[in-house]
Chains A and B, each alone.
Chain A
């Protein structure tokens, strides 16, 4: 996220963050053996899909919104893994790679156009500028793919996940079902919040406070028109927009049908986990699925998300501020703003305990006990013993004579004691 935008696109889209999804799918042979593991995976995925999506709603940094949406989508993939729909998880991984790379590069284009301002509160109306048209349209395609609008690639993979969760027979599937459906609304809401704030509505970039002003910009520059991103930025956007739109429908049957692209690479115990088989029976083709999608809950949830963000951020922008004040009042906003205090927990609890233990071992164990008591202590004992024994050998003759006389007296007393005792009548 903090890296350069193309690196974010690479990391978030296809490589690093999805490695875990790939690994579980690759090890389906192992995970199929344990319902406990699958339940746990499904619950973790549900929590991630829902709660990371919620964080996306309150972010104002354009890259952060996209980054939290990645976390949420990883949650979707994980839920699919838990439902034994490994191939569907890989399918979503693939479609997500295209539209997430597109959204990140689109965000990069916007950041360039906005003179390196990343705060969506100070953007707006970019769709009206001719040189931003490609950025605008491709970002729209990416957003539609992300929220799962029918016919776009994200629709097929996400709907397949929702269907798979629905068909799952694991105990966790009730919660997962709720999470992935609620997640659809939330995804649509934060995606189009960003989209509307960036590309539509009033132009607000002149309101950018000066202290947030990028150091290498000139003072008068941020009032200027958006910078033309140029073909080096636009071309990748177009190239990514095409698969973001169509690859889902094209590849659908390869991932949900029998004997598809993944073939024997993935193992599913169909008798124990029939979800994938049910899915394969229900899905007959891209057109039929899109048509069916129009009458299903996810479509209406997504539409509701888009409409509510339109209402809140374009039609009646006063409401979000009031909502924010309300949620601040009950502490929810702070909870979200601090990412559920997970970073705080790591920093103040985990790291602090670790450092505390280290310091305790070092100071109390190494310095006081081992070095202080044992090592330096043994030197000190030697020192004390030698200091004491030194006193016995003063070298003065009269000291030795005194000790000799005292000893003689003592010995004589000892030897004569029986006699003396008798004499004294003891």
Chain B
């Protein structure tokens, strides 16, 4: 069994075992089993990075096994420079998620951890699937564990949030299914994503397909105006749920744009770039402004995630290498930073059981170590140089300026909104006098919380100072994608006739 299959099915199988037999292990046993399973899941992804040939844009670690021969559906996996880091990121964040639930979740911990392990395998499946049916199955399957995580372990209004999350994303996916079926017949009965990338499609059909795929991915990213499920889902989700949601699940949609919309429908992508750029800029400015006035910390960070994902889609649709790789880097960086932000909120919530900003003030007095971590993540969230948040934003702004100066200017305003909501949040929660007497009683982070935050802080700083290991492997794949999109498909029609 190759490493890709292992990284998908090891966490799923171990998660399944934990779900079925976890109650015999007891709380402690379930914790350690889950942690070791997550670590094992991460370890099997490491050879994918070390064995990856960064100079090649081709799919690597390919596995292609016939599955449903009658419909030409294959179990076809592969990883390229675009998906490589997301495989590792998913496995890494799963460890963080398990650790963050350690003593916080006391109700059916084994099921909770199992949901994250299974979710981890499914999400890795999305990133490495090269068969459209396989992709669709994994893409939809991610909904189930997350639905359960929010619906069972969530907050007060969890049922509404879980349903909203589920229906919102499912509604988008139906159009994608139709598009997949259309392409299946159009391509002469193939579900191979790679085949579709070479398929010549007229402009009219490309545009319809573009919107069909966009419906699925825009909800997942989420792009304005289909973003309103995210704040609700985050507010109701337990901490680890928010972490995985922000760090990985949002990336599934953006990754879908890179796998389907850009390479399969390059001409429609270019033709509709104005729309995507406009929606991205609305996300950056409108959602950035909305984030400033939030009163609930999780909502604030949720809105800031939408704004950051606006940056990602902006980078994709300016069609240059800087913007595109900047968008991907931003996705990875946001994985670390938003995870850190949500964990910080989790740490506060575990102690005071409120997420209202107004309930906190002067937390730095009682939790100085924690406040240092929170400052780092707040700074990374607003894109301070030498943190992960800076690298992607910087590349996207450069790419946007190259494309059109004024688009770059509007995009760069994100730095102002980002600083406004991140620093104002930090000021109101951590600094100032203690107004709520309970804040005095808050104990500083324990060793476990220290470990989680340190891991993410190390990743955030390392990526900010030395982003080369992140950008190098994607180089060739991004280059190829840019060339492929630049060439387009309609030109080929012209040559043929």
| Chain A contacts to B: CB under 8 angstroms | 354-355, 357-359, 361-362, 365-366, 370-371, 374-375
Interchain CA distance A357-B290 in the complex, whole Å? 8
Q: Can you list, as one digit per residue, whether each of B270-309 has a CB less than 8 Å from chain A (1) or not (0)? A: 0000000000000000110111111000000000000000
Shortest beta-carbon distance from B309 to chain A in Å: 16
Residues of B within 8 A of A358 (CB): 289-293
Give the contacting residue for A354; candidates B225, B229, B292; CB below 8 A.
Answer: B292
Q: Is the CB of B228 within 8 A of A371?
A: yes
B164, CB-defined interface residue at 8 Å: yes
List the B side residues contacting A357 at CB < 8 Å: 289
Beyond A354-B420, A375-B164, whether A362 also contacts B228 by CB under 8 A is no
Q: Which residues of A contact B289 (CB under 8 A)?
A: 354, 357-358, 361
Which residues of B lie under 8 Å from residue A375 when comparing CB positions? 164, 168, 228-229
> From B231, which residue of chain A is reached at the shortest CB distance?
A366
- List, in ascending order, chain B residues with CB within 8 A of A359's CB: 293
Chain A residues closer than 8 Å to B294, beta-carbon distance: 362
Q: How far is the CB of A215 from chain B (nearest CB, A)?
A: 14
For the A-B complex with A361-B290, A370-B225 known, give 10 more contacts whose Cβ atoms are closer than 8 Å: A354-B289, A355-B292, A355-B293, A357-B289, A358-B289, A358-B293, A362-B290, A362-B294, A370-B228, A375-B229
Count chain A CB atoms within 10 A of each CB in B164, B225, B229, B294 and give the residue with the most.
Answer: B225
Q: How far is A365 from B225 in the complex, measured between Cα atoms in Å?
A: 9
Contacts of B420 in A (CB 8 A): 354
Q: How far is the CA of A401 from the CA of B292 in the complex (A)?
A: 62
Given A375-B168, A375-B228, decide whether A366 and B290 contact each other with a Cβ distance below 8 A. Answer: yes
Q: Kindly provide the distance from the CB of B297 to the nearest chain A CB, expressed in whole angstroms.
A: 15
Nearest-Cβ distance from residue A389 to partner chain B, whole angstroms? 20
Residue of B nearest to A378 (CB): B171
The winner among B168, B228, B420 for most chain A CB atoms within 10 A is B228
Interface residues on B, range: 10 to 19
Q: Name the residue on B nearest A356 (C-beta).
A: B293
A355 to chain B: which residues have CB within 8 Å? 292-293
Closest partner residue, chain A, to B287 (CB atom): A361
Q: How far is the CA of A261 from the CA of B420 in the complex (A)?
A: 41
The 3 closest A-B pairs by CB, nearest first: A358-B293, A358-B289, A362-B290
C-alpha spacing A374/B164, complex, angstroms = 12
Which residues of A sit under 8 angstroms from B229, Cβ to Cβ?
375
Specify the chain A residue showing the minimal Cβ separation from B303.
A362
Q: Select B286's contact among A354, A361, A371, A374, beta carbons within 8 Å.
A: A361
CB within 8 Å of A: which B21-43 residues:
none
The answer to whether B286 and A365 touch across the interface, beta carbons within 8 angstroms, is yes
Complex interface bits, B296-337 against A, C-beta within 8 A gives 1, otherwise 0: 000000000000000000000000000000000000000000
Closest residue of chain B to A375 (Cβ to Cβ) is: B228
Closest chain B residue to A359, Cβ basis:
B293
Least CB distance from B191 to A in Å reads 31
Measured between beta carbons, the chain B residues less than 8 angstroms from A374 are 225
Q: How far is the CB of A369 from chain B (nearest CB, A)?
A: 8
Assess whether A362 is in contact with B164, with CB atoms less than 8 Å apart: no
A67–B292 alpha-carbon span in the complex (Å): 31
CB distance from B127 to the nearest CB of A (A): 29
> Contact flags (1/0) for B148-172 with A, using CB distance below 8 Å?
0000000000000000100010000
10 interchain pairs, CB-CB under 8 A: A354-B420, A355-B293, A358-B289, A358-B293, A359-B293, A361-B289, A362-B293, A365-B286, A374-B225, A375-B228
Q: Which residue of B lies closest to A366 (CB)?
A: B228
Q: Which residues of B contact A366 (CB under 8 A)?
A: 228, 290
Q: Which residues of A contact B286 (CB under 8 A)?
A: 361, 365
Residue of B nearest to A369 (CB): B225
A357 to B164, CA, bound (A): 26
Residue of A nearest to B421 (CB): A358
Give Cα distance in the complex from A354 to B285, angstroms.
11
Most buried by B among A354, A355, A361, A374: A361
Contacts of B290 in A (CB 8 A): 358, 361-362, 365-366
**Docked CA distance A354–B229 (Å):** 24
A359 to B286, CA, bound (A): 10
Contacts of B168 in A (CB 8 A): 375
- Nearest chain B CB to A189's CB is how many angstroms away? 37
| Closest beta carbon of chain B to A324's beta carbon, Å | 33
Q: How far is the CA of A375 from the CA of B171 in the complex (A)?
A: 11
CA distance A68 to B485 in the complex (A): 56
What B residues does A354 contact at CB under 8 A? Answer: 289, 292, 420
Which residues does chain A contribute within 8 Å of B292, judged by CB atoms?
354-355, 358
Q: Shortest Cβ distance from B225 into chain A, in angstroms? A: 5
Q: Which residues of A contact B225 (CB under 8 A)?
A: 365, 370, 374
Which chain A residue has the least Cβ–Cβ distance from B171?
A: A378
Q: Which residue of B lies closest to A379 (CB)?
A: B167
Min CB distance B419 to A, Å, is 12
In the bound assembly, the distance between CA atoms of A365 and B287 in angstroms comes to: 10
Task: Report the minimum CB–CB distance from B398 to chain A (whole Å).
Answer: 18
Chain B residue at smallest Cβ distance from A376:
B164
Q: How far is the CB of A357 from chain B (nearest CB, A)?
A: 5
Specify which chain B residues have a CB less than 8 angstroms from the CB of A371 in the assembled complex.
228
A378 to chain B, nearest CB (A): 9
Neighbouring B residues of A361 by C-beta, 8 Å: 286-287, 289-290
Once the chains are docked, how many angstroms separate the CA of A374 from the CA of B287?
Answer: 18
B45 to chain A, nearest CB (A): 37
Given the complex, which residues of A lie within 8 Å of B291, measured CB to CB?
358
Docked CA distance A376–B292 (Å) = 25
* A residues in contact with B228, CB < 8 Å: 366, 370-371, 375
Min Cβ gap B264→A in Å is 28
Smallest distance from the beta carbon of A253 to chain B beta carbons, Å?
A: 38
A376 to B192, CA, bound (A): 37
Which residues of chain B are near A370, meaning CB under 8 Å?
Answer: 225, 228
Residue of chain A at shortest CB distance from B160: A376
Of B168, B287, B293, B294, most buried by chain A (CB within 10 Å of CB) is B293
- Nearest opposing residue in chain B for A362, CB measure: B290
Q: In the assembly, what is the distance between CA of A357 and CA of B282, in Å?
A: 13
Q: Which of B203-259 contact A (CB under 8 A)?
A: 225, 228-229
Q: Give Cα A362–Cα B168 distance, bound, in whole angstroms.
A: 19
Query: Which of A355, A358, A359 is packed against the most chain B CB atoms within 10 Å?
Result: A358
The minimal Cβ–Cβ distance linking B287 to chain A, given in whole angstroms, is: 8
Tell me which of B164, B290, B294 has the highest count of chain A C-beta atoms within 10 A of its own C-beta: B290
CB of A58 to closest CB in B, whole Å: 29
Chain A residue at minimum C-beta to C-beta distance from B299: A362
A370 to B224: give the CA distance in the assembly, Å.
Answer: 10
Residue of A nearest to B291 (CB): A358
- Give Cα A374 to B290, complex, Å: 19
* Chain B positions within 8 Å of A365 at CB level: 225, 286, 290
CB distance from A163 to the nearest CB of B (A): 39
- With both chains docked as a complex, state the minimum distance between the C-beta of B164 and any C-beta of chain A, in angstroms: 7
Nearest-Cβ distance from residue A111 to partner chain B, whole angstroms: 23
Interchain nearest-CB distance for A354 vs B (Å): 6
- Residue of A with least CB distance to B286: A361
Max chain A CB contacts within 10 Å: which of B164, B225, B289, B420?
A: B289
Q: Which residues of A contact B293 (CB under 8 A)?
A: 355, 358-359, 362
Which residues on B sit within 8 Å (CB–CB) of A362? 290, 293-294
CB distance from B80 to the nearest CB of A (A): 35
List of A residues within 8 angstroms of B164 by Cβ: 375
Residues in B48-71 with C-beta less than 8 Å from chain A: none
A361 to B306, alpha carbons, bound, how many Å? 14
Shortest beta-carbon distance from B203 to chain A in Å = 29
Select from chain B the residue with minimum beta-carbon distance to A372.
B228
Q: Whole-angstrom distance between the alpha carbons of A370 and B225 in the complex?
A: 7
- B258 nearest CB across to chain A (Å): 26
**B418 → A minimal CB distance (Å):** 13
Q: How far is the CA of A364 from the CA of B11 in the complex (A)?
A: 43
Alpha-carbon distance A374/B228, docked complex (angstroms): 10
CB distance from B478 to the nearest CB of A (A): 32
- Docked pose: A359 CA to B168 CA in angstroms: 24
